[in-house]
Amino acid sequence: MKPSEETLLDIRGLRKHFAMRGGLRRSSSRSVKAVDGIDLSIREGETLGLVGESGCGKTTTGRSILRLIEPTEGQIWFRSHRMETRSDQQRGIDVAQVSQKQLKDLRRDMQIIFQDPYSSLNPRMTVGAIVAEPLMTHHITSRSNCKNRVVELLTSVGLKPSHIRRYPHEFSGGQRQRIGIARALALEPQLLVCDEPVSALDVSIQAQVLNLLEDLRAAHNLTYLFIAHDLSVVKHISNRVAVMYLGRIVERATTSELFLHPKHPYTEALVSAVPVPEPDYISARKVLQGDVPSPVDPPSGCTFHPRCPYAIEICKKDVPQLKEIENGHSVTCHLADRLSLDGLTQS
Amino acid sequence: MADHTAVRERENKTYSSNDMAPESVLEVTGLQVGFPHDHGVAHVVNGVSFGIKREETLGIVGESGCGKTVTALAVMGLLPKALGCQVDGKILYRRKSGVIDLATLPPRGRVMRSIRGNEIAMIFQEPMTSLNPVFTVGDQIAEAILIHLHPTRRKARSQAIEMLDAVGIPSPEQRADEYPHQMSGGMRQRAMIAMGLSCGPSLLIADEPTTALDVTIQAQVLELMNDLRVRFRTAIQFITHDLGVIASMANYVAVMYLGRIVEHAPVRTLFHNPKHPYTKGLLSSLPSLTAEKARLVPIPGTVPDASEVQQGCGFAPRCPNSMEICTTQSPSLEPIDERHSAACWLYTQRGDRR
């Protein structure tokens, strides 16, 4: 289970600003800074959890990697197995720069599972057609082989071969999510971006899908970028975790390190705010004041300073940079080496 | 005319206090709710009984479609009887003047309207859709106060501002003049809570009040609700699917599955010594934040459709302990010890074990 040291995906300085239009003044120079300069790398075979509250830019990050959203700025280096020359394989390719034709090829290696299993499947296509579509688009199998492959995929995600002729509305939420997973696996990708794959599901079904994702990772040697807001789910499935706040990464560490010894005040508050299903659990609850500010007009300096209980003068003026303070543990905080923060109390 | 007198009689009928435990605010017995559909009636709530005492929080947990919300709507008299909704059972509620059965009251009648929003208030999951977008938040809170307590307009407004202050909204005087869309999600939910508590209810029904909120905001709202419960001495019926939230909020917990309460216990007993296989399954399928779990143990299968008529225990098809009797007869909620009960054949004399 130990992730290999080889980096599969390396994101450098990724930015996505959405221009704001509308209102009386049609042209506006203001923009929503959804993702505002993030660096992130994912090693082959590992699961990287990306957490944060709504509007922090996690989904935009995931979609930018696949260029379902065009990034404003930044590099996305990806090492595809399908590269022609050996040097390309080693160096990787910048997804942000490739042509549309190259991009189509690259997408065979990077796929996505969406949050809402109700709106991400075409209601007018049968399950068989949905799962076969990627195979057809990329001319991978002949029509006759296609059906066998679809049946194989459906079985691998725990559905029955007879489901092939049915339509999405005949399935429950958990089953639909399985269909989405089968579709994403059809091209045998290396990287799977899972965008809140279980947050629309009930707990008993959520556990089924999480187990399935873990099994598939082992069986197909997959690498996951697992985007979620539920910290217990992220802790369960991830090897490493990155925490986002207002379009920036505030902390990055291995899972146990991040939960037991958080170094950023926001991570500390996030971890302490999670309701633990244990009545006797005493969390060092740090209730944050106020709301997440608007990404149109983020606060000066460290964007977290208006809510931060430890903020000092420098936090209002200078933007902190992500720096590594321990092996593999990076934080974006001026006070990182001065604060002693509380993590989870392990039972 | 005859109808009218009958209604009056029902409205004025009081139960003696002996019908109810002395500390109880609400006592529901054998509640059944049926919704008509193409092939008959779907029994969404199927014989639910529970009680809530003053200043106590009863948590109701269950997955989507288990009947948690419908139970709450039945108590509030908000189920559309005109559409063929059938409500049976007793919903005893203690007023200052005596005990009254809410199930017998006409939902649009004088008495029910004086209780709803006044003595029993409800806050909903989605604060954006449950607030009226064309009125200011202050006006909406004042509306409830005006209707039930009949003060002057000026007094109602100042009370509304006081409530906004009590739920921790900064600069409440300005915020009272804002429309719902000008507020953030957490702010709107606070406004909903302010509205719910504005008439000093003895029972507050909270239906997934923090599900739409982010964790840091959820922590704020939960803390607020606990403070207000003590301050206003309100009983809370707290509906959620989140076992973590239940653990930090409830005194007692009722676990629902397919329209029935399958287990009822004090919160620590439920988490430390769960009896019903469904409760056990729920707890083992949760990823844990505090302990290392190598692998989750999910409950196999899916929740069946409430409209499908079935025999026996509703959980039997998914249950690891299923026995012969489970598929033929439905177990009732029986006490295991003094304050802990479960609806499972494993714990009754007729079951094969124990």
Q: Is the model's pLDDT at B7 over the cut of 50?
A: yes
Chain A hits for B220, Cβ within 8 Å: 287-288
Q: Is the model's pLDDT at B81 over the cut of 60?
A: yes
**Whether the predicted interface score ipTM is above 0.95:** no
Which residue, among A202, A208, A346, would best test binding to B if mutated, counting the most B CBs under 10 Å from its CB? Answer: A202
Q: Rounded to whole angstroms, how far apart are CA atoms A98 and A107?
A: 11
Q: pLDDT per residue over B142-179, tens digit each?
A: 999 999 999 999 999 999 999 999 888 888 999 999 99
Cross-chain residue pair A273–B219, CB shorter than 8 Å: yes
pLDDT, position A345: 76
The DSSP call for residue A30 is -
Q: Which of B217, B268, B296 sits opposite A211 (nearest CB)?
A: B296
Across the beta sheet with A31-43, the strand order is A31-43, A7-19, A73-78, A93-94
Q: pLDDT per residue over A174-195, tens digit each?
A: 999 999 999 999 999 999 999 9
Cross-chain residue pair A203–B63, CB shorter than 8 Å: yes
Cross-chain residue pair A207–B220, CB shorter than 8 Å: no
Quickly list H helices, B32-177: 68-76, 110-115, 127-130, 137-149, 153-166, 172-175
Cross-chain residue pair B248–A54, CB shorter than 8 Å: no
Q: Is the model's pLDDT at B1 over the cut of 50?
A: no
How many CB atoms lie under 10 A from the CB of residue B26? Answer: 22
How crowded is the C-beta side of B50, counted as CA atoms within 13 Å? 33
pLDDT, position A26: 59
Q: pLDDT per residue over A238-284, tens digit each?
A: 999 999 999 999 999 999 999 999 999 999 999 998 888 888 887 66
Size of interface A-B (CB pairs under 8 A): 128
Which residue, among B57, B216, B269, would best test binding to A if mutated, counting the most A CBs under 10 Å from its CB? Answer: B216
Cross-chain residue pair A236–B64, CB shorter than 8 Å: no
Chain A hits for B242, Cβ within 8 Å: 275
Tokens of A74: 């930044």
Chain B hits for A269, Cβ within 8 Å: 216
Which residue, among A278, A288, A346, would best test binding to B if mutated, counting the most B CBs under 10 Å from its CB? Answer: A278
- Does B169 contact chain A (CB < 8 Å)? no
- Does B6 contact chain A (CB < 8 Å)? no
Cross-chain residue pair B216–A269, CB shorter than 8 Å: yes
CA distance to partner chain A, nearest, from residue B289 (Å): 5
CA distance to partner chain B, nearest, from residue A238 (Å): 12
Q: pLDDT per residue over B86-137, tens digit each?
A: 999 999 999 988 899 999 988 889 999 999 999 999 998 887 788 999 999 9
Give the pLDDT mean for B39-53.
Answer: 90
Q: Is the model's pLDDT at A159 over the cut of 70?
A: yes
pLDDT, position B9: 59
Q: Which of A174, A271, A273 sits opposite B302 (nearest CB)?
A: A174
Q: Which of B247, B298, B303 sits opposite A207 (nearest CB)?
A: B298
- Chain B residue at shortest CA distance from A270: B216
Give the pLDDT mean for B221-242.
Answer: 91
Q: Which of A204, A270, A272 sits opposite B63 (nearest CB)?
A: A204
Tokens of B115: 């209780």
User: Residue A329 in 3-state DSSP?
Assistant: strand
**B121 within 8 A of B196, measured Cβ to Cβ:** yes
Name the B residues in 251-270 with CB < 8 Å from any A CB. 267-268
Q: Rounded to whole angstroms, how far apart are CA atoms B208 and B225?
A: 13
pLDDT, position A2: 43
Q: Rounded to whole angstroms, how far apart are CA atoms A167 and A170?
A: 6
Cross-chain residue pair A277–B286, CB shorter than 8 Å: yes
pLDDT, position B139: 95
pLDDT, position B2: 46
- Chain B residue at shortest CA distance from A209: B298
- Does B226 contact chain A (CB < 8 Å)? no
Output the 3-class SS for A222-257: CEEEEEECCHHHHHHHCCEEEEEECCEEEEEEEHHH
Chain A hits for B217, Cβ within 8 Å: 53, 291
Chain A hits for B186, Cβ within 8 Å: 291
pLDDT, position B170: 85
Across the beta sheet with B24-37, the strand order is B40-53, B24-37, B86-95, B98-101
Q: pLDDT per residue over B331-354, tens digit each?
A: 999 999 989 999 999 988 654 444
Cross-chain residue pair A53–B216, CB shorter than 8 Å: yes
- Does B245 contact chain A (CB < 8 Å)? yes
Task: Rounding to the nearest 10 degrees, give the CA dihedral for residues A162, A164, A169, A174.
Answer: 80
* CA distances, B114 to each of A133, A186, B4, B91, B149 (Å): 59, 60, 18, 16, 10
Q: At what angle do helices B215-232 and A265-273 cross, to 10 degrees?
A: 50
Cross-chain residue pair B214–A211, CB shorter than 8 Å: no
Q: How high is the mean pLDDT of chain B?
A: 88
Q: Which of B186, B247, B287 sits opposite A235 (nearest CB)?
A: B287
CA distance to partner chain B, nearest, from residue A311 (Å): 18
Name the B residues in 269-308 with CB < 8 Å from any A CB. 271-272, 281-283, 285-291, 293, 295-300, 302-303
- Chain A residue at shortest CA distance from B221: A287
Does residue B39 or residue A102 have the better pLDDT? A102
pLDDT, position B309: 63
Does residue A5 or residue A117 have the better pLDDT? A117
Nearest CA to B167 out of B181, B151, B148, B183 is that of B183
Chain A hits for B243, Cβ within 8 Å: 203, 277
Give the pLDDT mean for B186-194.
Answer: 90
CA distance to partner chain A, nearest, from residue B78 (Å): 26
CA distance to partner chain B, nearest, from residue A204 (Å): 5
pLDDT, position B349: 63
Which residue, among A204, A264, A281, would best test binding to B if mutated, counting the most B CBs under 10 Å from its CB? Answer: A204
Tokens of B170: 């900064």
Q: Is the model's pLDDT at A84 over the cut of 70?
A: no
Cross-chain residue pair B248–A279, CB shorter than 8 Å: yes
Output the CA angle B323-B42-B27, nearest 5 degrees: 80
Q: Which of A269, A285, A346 sits opposite B290 (nearest CB)?
A: A346
